[in-house]
Homo-oligomer: A and B are copies of this chain.
Amino acid sequence: MKEKVKPKTLPGFMELLPNEQILFNKMKEIIQKTYEKYGFLPLDTPIIEDANVLLAKAGGETEKQIYRFEKGENDLALRFDLTVPLAKYVTEYYDKLSFPFKRYQIGKVYRGEKPQRGRYREFYQCDVDIIGDGKLSIINDAEIPAIIYHTFQNLGFDDFTICINNRKLLNGIFLSMQLEKESTEILRVIDKIDKIGVEEVKHELQKQIDIEKVETMMKFIAIDGNNAQKIQALEELNISNEVFQEGLEELKQLLKFITIFGVPENYFQIDLTIARGLDYYTGTVYETFLNSYRELGSVCSGGRYDNLAEYYTDRKMPGVGISIGLSRLFYQLMEHKIISADNQSISDVLIVSMTNHYEMCADIARKLRDEDFNVQINIEEQKLGKKLKYADHLNVKYVIIIGEDEVKNNVVTLKDMVTGEQKTAPFEEAIKLIKGIDE
């Protein structure tokens, strides 16, 4: 016999206890069903891809984090997001797809980051994207917040805000001030506004650009009020630049249709300070915040991009999409006790046998399953106390106990694990109680 190996899960890899896993899976399923309600098609691409295909676009930080290795003569890598595999997919199967191509993908991705609390090396992303062939209507951008709204509603949240911006506004301002080249650096500074405040942003910007341009920038950033007031203020900036006007027009269209798609007014707002994905997004951007837990950061982000697959094809494929980082979100919600897995259960009923006449247990299990209940059976040789503890641990609502007397009299003892009530009755009567049918 070899020496025992100490079994351990790698740091940075989420592994849940069963009750946590039940809750996690429920959330995953809710996200999936909501995505499907909006007509997104499922996709499931390989976790391993050819490294050259996967890294066609990557560079810098991403490349360092990648799990890359050789097997035989193949240079392989694990996917680090679901967007690159989507780009690969729509290019590879272009002739077999219909556009606009709407797909969701829920799956694990891999990044060899330094493990820290809530940061995982293997984590779930839940993505939807709408990909156009050549062009894609702005109305699609308005449907996305409805998906976010219904997803988080269905997940049980009722107090969150979907923040919306359009990168063309800022880009247009840059263009009008001939600051295109400095834009990335300026955006990087502006992006810190939540952390360092307005004055510090202003201070940092003045190191690099003329004071009157900083003033225009700050006037833009200072825009406040409700959505209508913000739109008005944007119009009053009187920036004639074409890109700016395009962004403004898109934002107005978006606001109009969001409501028609069913998002209540108090769940979304223009937020001109969000400027996600410095290089990637080109138009609309989204971030979503739980209002009582703003410190969690955005729980669902995304935006519009001009050209999904430019590293694979000359075909222009614009898209708009969002991603929920479910593993991290789950960790945060658990950590802040916003959700709890304490009462999660797969089984509705546990049948325990206190005799070695097991036929009745098996028979009742079958009958309850035929009635569509999830049923577990415990016919091990254990004491009743241990079996009830087992039931407690499984969080089942009902335990059916079969002992000698029950077999003899053809009855069952039904224990309600919530109230502690116990009743001995024929099975037909017990099942009515389980079904919640009053007599």
Residues of A within 8 A of B (CB): 1-2, 4-10, 13-18, 21-22, 24-25, 36-50, 52-53, 56, 67, 69-72, 74, 76, 87-89, 91-93, 96-100, 102-103, 108, 110, 112, 121-122, 132, 135-137, 139-140, 142-143, 146, 150, 256-257, 260-262, 309-314, 346-347, 350, 358-359, 362-363, 365-366, 369-370, 372-381, 389-390, 393-394
Please name 29 pairs of A and B residues whose Cβ atoms are closer than 8 Å in the assembled complex, sorted by A: A5-B53, A5-B312, A7-B56, A7-B88, A8-B92, A9-B45, A9-B49, A10-B49, A10-B76, A15-B44, A18-B41, A18-B97, A36-B374, A38-B376, A39-B347, A39-B374, A40-B346, A67-B76, A72-B112, A98-B389, A132-B380, A135-B381, A139-B377, A143-B365, A150-B369, A257-B362, A260-B359, A261-B366, A262-B370
> In the complex, which residues of chain B have a beta carbon less than 8 angstroms from the beta carbon of A309?
7
* A381 vs chain B, min Cβ distance (A): 7
Q: Is the CB of A363 within 8 A of B260?
A: yes
Q: Please, which residue of chain B has its CB at the minimum distance from the CB of A367? A: B262
> In the complex, which residues of chain B have a beta carbon less than 8 angstroms from the beta carbon of A136?
380
- Ranked nearest first, the 6 interchain pairs of A and B with the lowest CB-CB distance are A39-B376, A69-B69, A5-B56, A18-B41, A260-B362, A13-B46
Q: Please, which residue of chain B has its CB at the minimum distance from the CB of A4? A: B312
Q: Is the CB of A7 within 8 A of B376?
A: no
Assess A5 versus B311: contact at CB under 8 Å? Given A13-B46, A139-B379: yes
State A88–B8 Cα separation when bound (angstroms): 7
Q: Is the CB of B42 within 8 A of A25?
A: yes
Please indicate which of the listed interface residues A256, A347, A381 has the most CB atoms of chain B within 10 Å of its own CB. A347
> In the complex, which residues of chain B have a beta carbon less than 8 angstroms from the beta carbon of A43?
18, 21
* A303 vs chain B, min Cβ distance (A): 19
Q: Is the CB of B15 within 8 A of A46?
A: yes
State A369–B378 Cα separation when bound (angstroms): 42
> In the complex, which residues of chain B have a beta carbon less than 8 angstroms from the beta carbon of A14?
46
> In the complex, which residues of chain B have a beta carbon less than 8 angstroms from the beta carbon of A311?
2, 4-5
* A394 vs chain B, min Cβ distance (A): 7
Q: Is the CB of A10 within 8 A of B48?
A: yes
Q: Please, which residue of chain B has its CB at the minimum distance from the CB of A35? A: B346
Assess A93 versus B17: contact at CB under 8 Å? Given A4-B313, A53-B7, A88-B9: yes
- Among candidates B10, B53, B72, B137, residue contacting A74 with C-beta atoms closer than 8 Å: B10
Q: Is the CB of B312 within 8 A of A7?
A: yes
Q: Is the CB of B374 within 8 A of A9?
A: no
9 other A-B residue contacts (CB within 8 Å) besides A9-B45, A10-B48? A2-B56, A6-B53, A18-B42, A24-B44, A37-B372, A39-B346, A39-B375, A39-B377, A48-B121
> In the complex, which residues of chain B have a beta carbon less than 8 angstroms from the beta carbon of A8?
50, 53, 88, 92
Q: Please, which residue of chain B has its CB at the minimum distance from the CB of A46? A: B13
State A18–B90 Cα separation when bound (angstroms): 11
Q: Is the CB of B262 within 8 A of A137?
A: no
> In the complex, which residues of chain B have a beta carbon less than 8 angstroms from the beta carbon of A2?
56, 311
Q: Is the CB of B5 within 8 A of A22?
A: no
State A6–B381 Cα separation when bound (angstroms): 61
Q: Please, which residue of chain B has its CB at the minimum distance from the CB of A313? A: B4
> In the complex, which residues of chain B have a beta carbon less than 8 angstroms from the beta carbon of A16?
44
Assess A10 versus B346: contact at CB under 8 Å? Given A93-B17, A98-B393: no
> In the complex, which residues of chain B have a beta carbon less than 8 angstroms from the beta carbon of A135?
380-381
> In the complex, which residues of chain B have a beta carbon less than 8 angstroms from the beta carbon of A103?
18
* A213 vs chain B, min Cβ distance (A): 31
* A330 vs chain B, min Cβ distance (A): 11
Please indicate which of the listed interface residues A17, A88, A146, A346 has the most CB atoms of chain B within 10 Å of its own CB. A346
State A45–B369 Cα separation when bound (angstroms): 28
State A74–B11 Cα separation when bound (angstroms): 11
Please indicate which of the listed interface residues A40, A67, A72, A98 has the most CB atoms of chain B within 10 Å of its own CB. A98
Assess A350 versus B7: contact at CB under 8 Å? Given A44-B21, A69-B67, A139-B358: no
State A338–B39 Cα separation when bound (angstroms): 27
> In the complex, which residues of chain B have a beta carbon less than 8 angstroms from the beta carbon of A96?
17
